[in-house]
Amino acid sequence: MPIFEYKCVGCGHEFEYLVLPKSSAASCPKCESVEVEKMISAPAISSDGTKERARQSGLARNKKLGTEKAHADHEYFHKHHDH
């Protein structure tokens, strides 16, 4: 089941559309125009290298979020527990 990317000619909205054998023509979900252009998109390729990069990116993002949460918790504690 291919998912294609489209851009609306009228409003410029970009969107994805799942094309099934019985699907109607793609239309813009924002303005409902049927004047849309199929965009060229990179294929989704999965390899051991891309999986490892995605894993490393996720770990880094989670670490950053954990640090930000710890900082926010620390500030909250000191604001609400005056010594």
**57 in the same domain as 31:** no
pLDDT confidence of residue 78: 86
**Number of compact structural domains in the chain:** 2
pLDDT confidence of residue 83: 56
**34 in the same domain as 8:** yes
**51 in the same domain as 82:** yes
pLDDT confidence of residue 1: 56
pLDDT confidence of residue 8: 95
**34 in the same domain as 66:** no
**To the nearest whole number, what is the mean pLDDT of the chain?**
86
**50 in the same domain as 34:** no
**20 in the same domain as 53:** no
Whole-number percent of the chain with pLDDT over 90: 31
Q: State the Cα–Cα distance between residues 52 and 58, nearest whole angstrom.
A: 10
Taking the C-alpha atoms of 64, 66, 70 and 72 in order, what is their torsion angle to the nearest 10 degrees?
70
The structure's pTM equals 0.48
**50 in the same domain as 33:** no
22 lies in which domain range? 3-38
Position 82 pLDDT exceeds 80? no
**50 in the same domain as 83:** yes
**Which pLDDT tens digit goes with each residue over 41-67?**
766 667 788 888 888 888 888 888 888
